[in-house]
Structure 1
Amino acid sequence: MALTAAASAREILTRLHDLMAKRLPAQSKLNAVVNIIGEALHSEVCSIYLLREGVLELFATRGLKQEAVHVTKLGLGEGLVGTIAANVETLNLDEATSHPNFVHNPETGEERFHSFAGVPIIRRERAVGVLAVQHVDPRRYADIEIEALQTVAMVLSELIANAELIDVAGGTSTRLQPTSASSVRGFPLVEGMARGVAVFHQPRIVIEHTVAEDIEAERHRVYAAFDKMRDQIERMTSQAEFGSGGEHEEILATYKMFAYDEGWSRRINEAIDSGLTAEAAIERVQQRTRMRMREIDDPLLSDRMHDLEDLSNRLLRIVSGQLGTAAQLGLRQDSILIARNLGPAELLEYDRRRLKGVVLEEGSLTAHVTIVARAMGVPVLGRVRDVRREVAEGDFLLLDVGEESLFVRPTLAIEEAFEAKLSLSQKRRAVFAQLRNEAPVTRDGHRVTVMVNAGLRDDVAALDLTGADGIGLFRTEFQFLVSATLPQREEQRRLYRDVLEAAGDRPVIFRTVDIGGDKALPYLHHDAEGEEENPAMGWRALRLALDRDGLMKAQARALIEAGAGRTLNVMFPMVSEPWEFDEARALFEAQRAWLAARGRKLPNVIRYGAMLEVPALAEVLDQLLPRLDFLSIGTNDLTQFLFAADRAHPKLALRYDWLSPAILRFLRRVSEQARAAEVPVAVCGEMGGRPLEALALIGLGIDRLSITPAAVGPIKAMLRSLDRGAAMAAVQGMLDRPERSVRTMLGEWAEAQGVELA
């Protein structure tokens, strides 16, 4: 073929543009399309297969037997056509029968054709069909012919969509039935069940027109978009504060290199030359990149290709003018959000009435978005690899975090089973809601204090909804994490005052800011050299606050002013040694004295507590306890520090059990010391919000829990069915002769005793 790829594609696109404008039935258009492509490429066979009811059906052909149309069908992965669709890849064979997946379809009369080339017809990253050409003579199609086919397939996708042969979600329409149901697995971050339509946090750009009317105008639009994108990248990288040196600088340099890559911009220009609009040209090159990504095994190169994917999306948004996240565009119905990752501020932008669940490609148990989602009562499934390839926007989804599963386009049977389980879960929640006004008293008359964890102003409403005794952990850092700039003292004071007033006479324990390390704030510069290899054990929490005492002084004054005329409870996070507690307490006392000297109204009393998260503190508790008004054990960080195991690591997150003898014996020793010193001790962490784990804590003599609001009902039900004395005897006995985990023994004991663990 003497023509260039661009000229070949442009010739075909010009004819297709005229065809698409005609008022013809969809089938007639497809019949015309195969003739246009076959003639332009001088190919004896041109065929179109479309996905229907989960199989690829021959919809139109030039050169094969017409009686095979709507009769020949191939499953995904079956034959050459099925392989192309399943792998979203291009095949170019001089001898079709040489491919291991070749399947002979005698009804088509294709046995006399040797050469074969096929490209996927892609709609929103999903293959919805295949465009194939065949020739009698054994020969590989030239690269320019394959390029032309790929470009035409892109336009064909628009034709099929506009003809309503496929729906907007990327599958087939109701006339052709949806694509088959599937399910994907993930890691449970926030328990719960949800149903709704898939919504992408960064919505995919809908390309309305693929064929250009004016090529030079389209080229100008791309040039302008490149300039704007490069300005954004320069601004973003120059404003980033990571410290000097480190791997991040190489990553940012590579990212900028892609933004200025002449090869990338040249390929987009070539796609415009073929007759595509600016948006379609970018998407055309992006499709080629995705196909290359699927062939790359090297994780480093794969990451680099992801950088290019990210830049392509940015360029596409600029040129199309379709900016903003799904939150800014607004949710229109019950939705399950799909994202690579999210920050807490981004999650809070969504309408809580319509946001039913979140699915992340990344995510961890300790991420702040997970904590915020838990507080919002939004189930989250994390580490769902390639979810954006499995799910299309608008797909109906069922999310069951307990089963670690996301059901995509579920069958009626799956939906009915899900609804039955959800109904049972809702009935259980209704039963728990009835316990709102019931005290958490054990069967043998022991009163347990059950409080909730909070971090947002709206979280205080959980006190009345659950009947909790107070807020055992108010995470003050949330205000910092969701703010674009450092919250001023007056902003902090208003928040703390609002929380205290909403809580009434119920106690609120404010934890001073736990930021730094893996909870970095963009407006707080890091003095350390390079990035921290172990941020959870790095410059964070009280360590950071004592170094940056201006930050802590402002918070201390805001808390003291907010607590005027009340009891103020202040807790310092990540105390490692007694002197750190002493310094933090002295800082607060200095601010109290400063305010008193100016005649300001003060709290009636300030109670100071510490969080035990660093195991080293347990070795000097005898020194610290006489100085404390209360002690809280943070089991989330404590667990990973005790086991030297990052709970955010996929292979370690579930490896070490909270009911291991090591954890329980440690907690027993700490609680016994605190009781002997007459210092109230509480557990504030995810461990206390799980009924079996909470039972173990009660068995250790711990009778103060601070948990997520959703866990209050189940924990109350467990406590009211429990004999505390019997539990203490059982747990002590299990720890005296421990196995690898106490979980099995304790579960069997609870079942025998009739303890409510649902």
Structure 2
Amino acid sequence: MKAASAARSILTSLHEVMASRTHAQAKLNQVVEVIGEALDSEVCTIYLLRDGMLELFATRGLNQAAVHVTRLGVGEGLTGTIAQNIETLNLDEAATHPEFQYRPETGEEKFHSFAGVPIVRRERAIGVLTVQHVEPRRYEEVEVEALQTVAMVLAELINNANLVDEETVGGLSEARTGQDQIEGLTLVKGLAIGEAVFHQPRVQIEHTVAEDTEAERERVYLAFDRMREQIDNMTGHAEFGVGGEHEQVLETYKMFAYDEGWSRRINEAIDSGLTAEAAIERVQQRTRMRMREISDPLLQDRMHDLEDLANRLIRIVSGQLGTAAQKGLTRDSILVAKNLGPAELLEYDKRRLKGVVLEEGSLTAHVVIVARAMGVPVVGRIRNLRGLVREGDEVLVDGDTGSVTLRPGPGVLTAFEARFARAREQKAAYAKLRDVEPFTRDGERIEVMMNAGLRDDVGMLAMTGADGIGLYRTEFQFLVSSALPQRERQARLYRDVLDAAKGKRVIFRTVDIGGDKTLPYLTNEIGKQDENPAMGWRALRLALEREGLMKVQARALLEGCAGRELNVMFPMVSEPWEFDAAKAVFEQQLDFLRKHKHQLPSAIRYGAMLEVPSLAEMLDQLLPKLSFISIGTNDLTQFLFAADRANPMLAERYDWLSPAILRFLDRVVKSCVGYPVDLGVCGEMGGRRLEALALIGLGIRRLSITPAGVGPIKELVRKVDTKEIGEAMRGWLLTPPENMRVALQDWAKQRGIDMD
């Protein structure tokens, strides 16, 4: 007997049962008879989850009086173990299993062999299907596979008959695994509550029984062809680069995509009478059960690759290819993803997106910068995330501690909501500082500006009381566009930003694209050959080579800032000649506008970002040409440490308070002495209270940070004596303590300065 023919025989009979007009209980009574006869099994039993307990709903071979009487907790006995672990059991002697429990009312003492499979719907066990036999014997693999296939169809029958209500289905994750707290890496601080939504949603399979087997097979063949084409094309995508770990991932994907064994098993599932989607899911259920038995981390990773690929195949075959952003969020949501690009995050409705949880992620990745700008807490570095959380689970994101709580109990939820309330109170306290100028205790004025990149961000100027926008990331407009933004559209944005700033200074950074900020309409040219795109053809390097891009933006900035001061800053300047070349593009466009009698900016101040360490060696040549210079600590950190900031393996490896970084910054501060140049930091480092304290001690007097950080930093500034912290920093830089972070914390604590 083949598994496919056995399952097909049962499904044919079940199809008739499901189509009959009898009530649900009568159908289940018929189902156990059909399965028992087909497998020549003396006992066939169906347990369904009701009110958190597995209730005996139908049986062939056991005492009928036990139906709706016998109930087991999830995890209790063999049946409860199957539901809890979503696993299959096949035992020749049931009593030898450590979880075996005897229920006398069922009359099952004479049966020795036992096999059971979970009935799964929406990745949750909603019941258990079991068979038993008097003679001790292990059921053949084909019989167990037939049971697993039948269980898929039963899930549809049970759902359609409303035998397990949605509350029970949705709550089973609590019953199966209960509350679960997982630790990750804080990427963006903050607290969030919402329901889990997968960035790449799993397809909900509603129809499992095929009407035309050959038509289903053809759908799978076409889906395989398309999937293989997608995988082959990935090699040319900029985000994969050349060489290294990404190539190994691609090779694994290709291996699975072209694996004949995988496609054969899906075909066999279709032969048994399943639809294309159900056949793929059926094979994946079996794979997931095997994954639980694997202890080798490398093999587990490979199995997760297969899971990703199977999800892709189901999306293709079902035609459901969109992300959750394209479908739209309908409730307060916590986004769950392996990783995200900044453009992908910007597609989501900010009103509904409350938090993000990632399997990967690093502190300085641009998607994190975007999330910070959106005020969305992010926790990353959580392995096997999609295996831990289910779509629709309630999730608490604690971006302050880097922890995520799945399916919280009432007590935990209440405590979290109390913290939420306190956070709102603290936010309100910071809001009171909106109109207070940030002077230190010894009278030094610290300029606290904010970073922005979206038109809506500018409204935060008035709400936070920031001194201005120290970094306006103009590339965000490029990231959210399907084509290169026209000059008029760019100019309109810059004009609107200045209008909204109401006279406060705005520093526009020219486009920083490339690296992890690829543009779909420039994919063929950006970063394709870069082994490390972050150190490749990006930012000013790209803009200078693509002269048309730079010219259009220069004209747009000059026109958009007509009649007002233009502050323009060039990113990733490595040598003075690059600044000269970029400035020359602006001067050429300025001459053109002047000749054609256009209104010009009232003044133009040129600045540069110091992100590449080489520029520090040439500051004496560059500073006379600058009005201001901004240290970009995100890129600077990765270049100083030769540590790719997008690599999750290095996310926690290097500290912004490392003496190496602080000594470098100290040298830059000293190099600027004697020049009429405004020096500041516009990186995420400046938005953290402890790091900001160190920067003030080094002599930095301008910080440009995320809007959420403005209040806390203004509050910090008013508690600091610059001479005192400056003296402490000089001592620490001369003789670095064992842990600079601890030394700073102790210093602050002694003076009653809260660093939380």
SS in 1 for 2:521: coil
- After TM superposition, the structure 1 stretch with the greater mean CA deviation from structure 2, 156-165 or 434-443, is 156-165
Question: Using the alignment, how far apart are the partners of 1:423 and 1:451 within structure 2?
Answer: 27
Match of 1:709 in 2: 707
How has the CA–CA distance of structure 1 residues 202 and 525 changed in structure 2, closer, same or farther, with 3 Å as cutoff? closer
Q: 1:532 aligns with which of 530, 533, 536?
A: 530
Question: Using the alignment, how far apart are the partners of 2:147 and 2:204 within structure 1?
Answer: 22
- Asked if the contact 2:341/2:517 (under 8 Å) is kept, the reply is no
Q: 1:215 aligns with which of 212, 215, 240?
A: 212
Match of 2:599 in 1: 601
Q: 1:517 aligns with which of 486, 501, 515?
A: 515
Q: 1:581 aligns with which of 564, 579, 582?
A: 579
Q: Does 1:200 align with 2:177?
A: no
Match of 1:382 in 2: 380
How has the CA–CA distance of structure 1 residues 225 and 37 changed in structure 2, closer, same or farther, with 3 Å as cutoff? closer
Q: Which amino acid aligns with 1:485?
A: A
How has the CA–CA distance of structure 1 residues 336 and 601 changed in structure 2, closer, same or farther, with 3 Å as cutoff? same
* 1:13-71 residue CA offsets vs partner (Å, 9 max, x unmatched): 24434444567776665454333322221112333345567776655544455677655
SS in 1 for 2:400: helix
Q: Does 1:637 align with 2:635?
A: yes
CA RMSD of aligned residues (A): 3.4
Match of 2:340 in 1: 342
- After TM superposition, the structure 1 stretch with the greater mean CA deviation from structure 2, 650-659 or 601-610, is 650-659
- Asked if the contact 1:169/1:392 (under 8 Å) is kept, the reply is no
CA shift for structure 1 position 756:
4.4
How has the CA–CA distance of structure 1 residues 280 and 564 changed in structure 2, closer, same or farther, with 3 Å as cutoff? same
Match of 1:227 in 2: 222
Q: 2:476 aligns with which of 475, 478, 501?
A: 478
- After TM superposition, the structure 1 stretch with the greater mean CA deviation from structure 2, 125-134 or 500-509, is 125-134
Question: Using the alignment, how far apart are the partners of 2:173 and 2:455 within structure 1?
Answer: 49
- Asked if the contact 1:569/1:608 (under 8 Å) is kept, the reply is yes
Any gaps of 5 or more consecutive residues in structure 1? none
Question: Using the alignment, how far apart are the partners of 1:653 and 1:314 within structure 2?
Answer: 28
How has the CA–CA distance of structure 1 residues 689 and 138 changed in structure 2, closer, same or farther, with 3 Å as cutoff? same
Match of 1:450 in 2: 448
Question: Using the alignment, how far apart are the partners of 2:51 and 2:646 within structure 1?
Answer: 40
- After TM superposition, the structure 1 stretch with the greater mean CA deviation from structure 2, 107-116 or 232-241, is 232-241
Question: Using the alignment, how far apart are the partners of 1:384 and 1:49 within structure 2?
Answer: 34
Q: Does 1:105 align with 2:99?
A: no
Question: Using the alignment, how far apart are the partners of 1:690 and 1:572 within structure 2?
Answer: 25
Question: Using the alignment, how far apart are the partners of 2:410 and 2:613 within structure 1?
Answer: 51
- Asked if the contact 2:361/2:648 (under 8 Å) is kept, the reply is no
How has the CA–CA distance of structure 1 residues 472 and 300 changed in structure 2, closer, same or farther, with 3 Å as cutoff? same
- Asked if the contact 1:357/1:399 (under 8 Å) is kept, the reply is yes
How has the CA–CA distance of structure 1 residues 408 and 257 changed in structure 2, closer, same or farther, with 3 Å as cutoff? closer
Q: Which amino acid aligns with 2:436?
A: E
What is the 5 A alignment of 1:138-217? Answer: 138-168=136-166, 171=169, 180-212=178-210, 214-216=211-213
How has the CA–CA distance of structure 1 residues 644 and 215 changed in structure 2, closer, same or farther, with 3 Å as cutoff? same
- After TM superposition, the structure 1 stretch with the greater mean CA deviation from structure 2, 177-186 or 338-347, is 177-186
How has the CA–CA distance of structure 1 residues 238 and 744 changed in structure 2, closer, same or farther, with 3 Å as cutoff? closer
- After TM superposition, the structure 1 stretch with the greater mean CA deviation from structure 2, 539-548 or 419-428, is 539-548
Question: Using the alignment, how far apart are the partners of 1:345 and 1:87 within structure 2?
Answer: 38
Q: Which amino acid aligns with 2:185?
A: F
Question: Using the alignment, how far apart are the partners of 1:345 and 1:493 within structure 2?
Answer: 21
- Asked if the contact 1:72/1:105 (under 8 Å) is kept, the reply is no
- Asked if the contact 1:188/1:381 (under 8 Å) is kept, the reply is yes
What is the 5 A alignment of 1:26-65? Answer: 29-50=27-48, 60-64=58-62
- After TM superposition, the structure 1 stretch with the greater mean CA deviation from structure 2, 370-379 or 44-53, is 44-53
- After TM superposition, the structure 1 stretch with the greater mean CA deviation from structure 2, 361-370 or 319-328, is 319-328
CA shift for structure 1 position 739:
0.6
- Asked if the contact 2:231/2:253 (under 8 Å) is kept, the reply is no
How has the CA–CA distance of structure 1 residues 48 and 676 changed in structure 2, closer, same or farther, with 3 Å as cutoff? farther
Question: Using the alignment, how far apart are the partners of 1:232 and 1:564 within structure 2?
Answer: 51
Q: 2:619 aligns with which of 607, 621, 627?
A: 621
CA shift for structure 1 position 672:
2.0
How has the CA–CA distance of structure 1 residues 742 and 478 changed in structure 2, closer, same or farther, with 3 Å as cutoff? same
Match of 1:73 in 2: 72
Q: Which amino acid aligns with 2:222?
A: D
- Asked if the contact 1:476/1:510 (under 8 Å) is kept, the reply is yes
* 1:114-148 residue CA offsets vs partner (Å, 9 max, x unmatched): 43333232222233443222223333322321221
How has the CA–CA distance of structure 1 residues 667 and 549 changed in structure 2, closer, same or farther, with 3 Å as cutoff? same
Q: Which amino acid aligns with 1:284?
A: R
* 1:261-283 residue CA offsets vs partner (Å, 9 max, x unmatched): 66555544433332333432332
- Asked if the contact 2:371/2:377 (under 8 Å) is kept, the reply is yes
Question: Using the alignment, how far apart are the partners of 2:272 and 2:216 within structure 1?
Answer: 16
CA shift for structure 1 position 684:
0.6
- Asked if the contact 1:53/1:180 (under 8 Å) is kept, the reply is no
> How many residues in Structure 1 have an aligned counterpart in Structure 2?
751
Q: Which amino acid aligns with 1:533?
A: E
Q: Does 1:16 align with 2:14?
A: yes
Question: Using the alignment, how far apart are the partners of 1:436 and 1:533 within structure 2?
Answer: 45
- Asked if the contact 2:375/2:708 (under 8 Å) is kept, the reply is yes
What is the 5 A alignment of 1:212-291? Answer: 212=210, 214-216=211-213, 219-220=214-215, 223-224=218-219, 226-227=221-222, 230-231=225-226, 234=229, 241-242=236-237, 264=262, 266-291=264-289
Query: Structure 1 length normalisation: TM-score?
Result: 0.89
What is the 5 A alignment of 1:416-435? Answer: 416-435=414-433
SS in 2 for 1:366: coil
* 1:644-670 residue CA offsets vs partner (Å, 9 max, x unmatched): 333333443223322222222221221
Question: Using the alignment, how far apart are the partners of 1:55 and 1:270 within structure 2?
Answer: 34
Q: 1:678 aligns with which of 672, 676, 679?
A: 676
CA shift for structure 1 position 414:
0.5
User: Identity of aligned pairs, percent?
Assistant: 65
How has the CA–CA distance of structure 1 residues 246 and 406 changed in structure 2, closer, same or farther, with 3 Å as cutoff? closer
